[in-house]
Amino acid sequence: MYDFLVPSVNFAGKGAVEVVGERCKILGGKKALVVTDKVLKSIEDGPVDKVVGHLKDAGIDVAFYDGVEPNPRDTNVKDGLKIYKDENCDMIVTVGGGSPHDCGKGIGIAATHDGDLYDYAGIELLENPLPPIVAVNTTAGTASEVTRHCVVTKTDVEPNVKYVIVSWRNLPLVSINDPLLMVGKPSGLTAATGMDALTHAVEAYVTLNANPMSDAVAAQAIKLIAGNLRQAVAYGHNIEARENMAYASLLAGMAFNNAGLGYVHAMAHQLGGFYDMPHGVANAVLLPHVERFNLNCNLKKFAEIAEMMGENIHGLSLRDAADKAIDAIVQLSKDVGIPSGLAELGVKEEDIPAMAELAMKDGNAGTNPVSGTVKDLENLFRAAM
């Protein structure tokens, strides 16, 4: 038996943002808190301006929280909640990549649950329905617009801890993926978010909870990313590549929302908490090392990944074909300009034991297809240096 959760309605394709106003109206919203970051809000006629224009056309009032930081903090949630309450908002519209979506979910949780947000870290601990959330996505990667995961950084401890609140109640009611909002994003951001999407798809494809539906969407995501990420990074205005990456990110999100992830995300969250490292970069550097560690759990699936990524596995043994998946991941990462190791990203050897301990406790560690020890995770961090 398995379940398959996605937002109630998912819009994807050129011009999809135009439906945001009417959808908020259908949901009964009167005043929306638009949750975003300062950069997106400052772009004239950018994604935020477009969303607000459509909301106003539909008769929805708007208040803003634009203080979301990358790797959103509990303090961002607190600040956003104050505006949500002071302005008497009754719904949340998130605009951006993973950070605004996660922060918006955090505000929704804080608005409907007592105590500290951290009390709800874990699986299915939310007790009350959240306000309606409509998520307008602007990067092809994190896929928080279609997931039940809310990732927040706890800032009242040193070093900060990134934690995950996993609950079906976190699912936005509506997701919107419009590639026209993604055109022209910087190549570094496109590469990092695209490798995050690949990590979602690969981890979901080999995880313990993979099922036929998650496998179907993960496989299609891997093919699309292998066939389009290089092009989207090389020329940000390649609309076909952008559209395919938007679609791939959405599918990869649906895959991991249901099949779960593994040690790559469990470890990457620590790099985010300790060093504020961009999530996609952390994943991309760790991915080949963790999957090499996981390889023996399912050689057939890794051989399939190799083929999906364009490798010729004809005539190879299953073991050699599976190895080709790792080669393909390393080559794609290199082609889109991801740094080759954690050391050049400022990671210190002395932090590795603490990060490995915390990674083992991360909500994503439990579904990794090979069960390792804290020592194994230390070794994987070292291999990735």
Q: How far, in Å, CA of 190 to CA of 185, rounded?
A: 6
Token couple for 327: 């080669």
CA-derived radius of gyration, the chain: 20
Write the CA distances from 235 to 185, 273, 281, integer angstroms.
10, 32, 19
Q: How far, in Å, CA of 165 to CA of 369, rounded?
A: 21
Q: Which of residues 32 and 142 has its CB atom nearest to Fe ion in the complex? A: 142
Q: Token match 């910087």: residue?
A: 186
CB of 115 to Fe ion, least distance (A): 27
Alpha helices (runs of H) in the chain, residue ranges in sequence order: 20-26, 38-42, 47-57, 74-86, 98-112, 187-206, 212-234, 239-259, 263-275, 279-294, 299-308, 318-335, 352-361, 374-383
Q: Which of residues 54 and 105 has its CB atom nearest to Fe ion in the complex? A: 105
Footprint of Fe ion on 264-323 (CB under 5 A): none
Give the residue, chosen from 66, 178, 196, 203, that forms a contact with Fe ion under the rule CB under 5 A.
196
Binding mask 142-181 for Fe ion (x = CB under 5 A): ----------------------------------------
Tell me which stretch binds Fe ion (CB under 5 A): 154-162, 179-187, 195-203, 230-238.
Answer: 195-203
Residue nearest to Fe ion (CB): 196
Tell me which stretch binds Fe ion (CB under 5 A): 100-108, 189-197, 338-346, 365-373.
Answer: 189-197
Q: Which of residues 196 and 311 has its CB atom nearest to Fe ion in the complex? A: 196
CB of 160 to Fe ion, least distance (A): 18
Tell me which stretch binds Fe ion (CB under 5 A): 43-51, 122-130, 155-163, 188-196.
Answer: 188-196
Write the CA distances from 121 to 71, 278, 317, integer angstroms.
16, 21, 43
102 binds Fe ion (CB under 5 A): no
Q: Which of residues 83 and 202 has its CB atom nearest to Fe ion in the complex? A: 202
Q: End-to-end alpha-carbon separation of the chain, Å?
A: 40
Q: Which of residues 41 and 101 has its CB atom nearest to Fe ion in the complex? A: 101
CB of 368 to Fe ion, least distance (A): 14
Q: Which of residues 10 and 249 has its CB atom nearest to Fe ion in the complex? A: 249
Sign of the alpha-carbon dihedral angle for 64, 277, 133, 76: negative
Q: Which residues bind Fe ion (CB under 5 A)?
A: 196
